[in-house]
């Protein structure tokens, strides 16, 4: 197993909110922010993913959040959409 190039850190924003960062990026780089985490009243963690635009997810523990973040960062990003390949068509029958 190779070591992870991602170094995840939890920066506390308040008693119940954190910012999850990848310290392999400079702190001033927007790509360093992986997610925002909030402890809900039901003791579950709501994660708003910034990296990869995944959306929102809920976890039972911070260790589950970190495991998921590590998996997200190890999954290659999708390739951007490309222009479709044109399909050859026959000329209309009226033109023949």
> Once rounded to an integer, what is the mean pLDDT over residues 13-35?
87
> Which tens digits make up the pLDDT trace of 75-96?
666 667 788 888 888 777 776 5
Supply the DSSP symbol for 25. S
Higher per-residue confidence, 72 vs 41: 41
Question: Confidence band (pLDDT; 50, 70, 90) for 29?
Answer: confident
Question: Confidence band (pLDDT; 50, 70, 90) for 2?
Answer: very low
- Determine the Cα–Cα distance for residues 16 and 92; give it in Å rounded to an integer: 66
Element spanning 95, H or E: none
pLDDT at 87: 82
- Would you kindly state where each structural domain of the chain is located, as residue ranges? 8-74
Q: Which residues make Cβ contacts (< 8 Å) with residue 75, sequence separation at least 6? A: 52
């Amino acid at each position: 197993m190779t070591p992870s190039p991602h170094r995840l850190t939890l920066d506390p924003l308040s008693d119940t909110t954190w910012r999850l960062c990848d310290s392999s990026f400079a702190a001033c780089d927007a790509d360093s922010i992986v997610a925002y985490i909030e402890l809900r009243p039901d003791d579950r963690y709501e994660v708003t993913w910034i990296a990869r635009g995944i959306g929102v997810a809920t976890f039972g523990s911070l260790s589950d959040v970190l495991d998921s973040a590590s998996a997200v960062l190890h999954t290659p990003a999708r390739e951007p959409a490309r222009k479709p390949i044109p399909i050859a068509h026959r000329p209309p029958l009226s033109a023949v």
